Amino acid sequence: MIAILSDIHANWEALSVVMERCEALGVTQYLCLGDVIGYGPDPLPVAKIASGRFTVSLMGNHEEAMVSGKHRFNPHAAQAINWTRQQIQPDATLWSWFQARKTFAVKGNLLMVHGSIYDPVHDYVDEPENPIEAQQMIDTLNKDFSGFDICFAGHNHTPFMATTMGTMVPHDGHRQFRLPKGHKAYVCVGSVGQPRDRDVRTSFATLDGEVLTFHRLDYDLRTTQEKIRKAGLNEFLAERLGEGI
């Protein structure tokens, strides 16, 4: 069984709960779609888990901003990435691990990106909101997914699956899907450390053969919020964890 994680954002409490559940499920490989750090208060311990345990760990826009110093972040994100750089850069091993991150990975018929196939670091895969957008998504999947069947994406912090048969949003009554044979799909796994679909629980996915499961788990977000405040990061970064935005 493979676990696909994204957007951990230096949230140790959320990652701990996810790793514990994955170990209980018998996960053998961890694939991370980027944004291990940024926003959150525990970049060092989270980066150590990522560098030590994950088979794939992609370059997200926050990793890119940290190592290059170039970004168009809002002031909260910019302050957090500057603070994060101060934590990580003194550790030469971790710093060079972050610098070496790749922007995409391929595994059989699976493509992994942080953003989208158009721009693997920065672009957002948006959930279709009306029939025109749904058709545009189907056209994209048919036209652009020629060399692979499934693209795992992060960055939007929202779990859903867009296929050539339509879009599916997981919910507590339905979290498991069989990946449709002969169809193409974008699988957005949501965010481990900063969910934005108004559900505060940590989000990730597992893949066991053709069976894809979207998971949501409670974690001790109050502790993470306290750590954000203690680190002097912006109050909004603490508040949004409590609202799932």
* CB-based burial, 142-163: b 16+ in 10 Å, e otherwise: eeebeebbbbbbbbbbbbbbbb
Nearer to Fe ion, 7 or 42 (CB): 7
Q: At what angle do helices 75-88 and 92-99 cross, to 10 degrees?
A: 130
In a 13 Å sphere around the CA of 192, the CA atoms on its Cβ side amount to: 34
Residue recorded with tokens 């189907």 = 138
Binding string, 4-43, against Fe ion, x = CB under 5 A? ---x---------------------------x--------
Shortest spacing between CB 36 and Fe ion, in angstroms:
10
Nearer to Fe ion, 80 or 179 (CB): 80
Shortest spacing between CB 112 and Fe ion, in angstroms:
15
Nearer to Fe ion, 138 or 195 (CB): 195
Residue 90 burial (C-beta neighbours within 10 Å; 0-12, 13-18, 19+): exposed
CA distance 202 to 215: 8
Residue recorded with tokens 């990975």 = 105
Nearer to Fe ion, 77 or 110 (CB): 77
Nearer to Fe ion, 7 or 13 (CB): 7
Q: Which of residues 72-101 bind Fe ion (CB under 5 A)?
A: none
Shortest spacing between CB 60 and Fe ion, in angstroms:
6
Shortest spacing between CB 212 and Fe ion, in angstroms:
21
Query: Is residue 63 part of the contact set for Fe ion (CB under 5 A)?
Result: no
Shortest spacing between CB 61 and Fe ion, in angstroms:
7
Nearer to Fe ion, 33 or 138 (CB): 33
**Which stretch, 1-9, 119-127, 212-220, 221-229, contacts Fe ion (CB under 5 A)?**
1-9
Host H or E run for residue 211: strand 211-217
Nearer to Fe ion, 33 or 137 (CB): 33
142 and 136 Cβ atoms separated by less than 8 Å: no
Shortest spacing between CB 174 and Fe ion, in angstroms:
25
Pair of tokens at residue 53? 């345990």
CA distance 131 to 169: 15
Shortest spacing between CB 203 and Fe ion, in angstroms:
12
Total residues contacting Fe ion by CB under 5 A comes to 2
In a 13 Å sphere around the CA of 86, the CA atoms on its Cβ side amount to: 7
Contacting residues toward Fe ion, per CB under 5 A: 7, 35
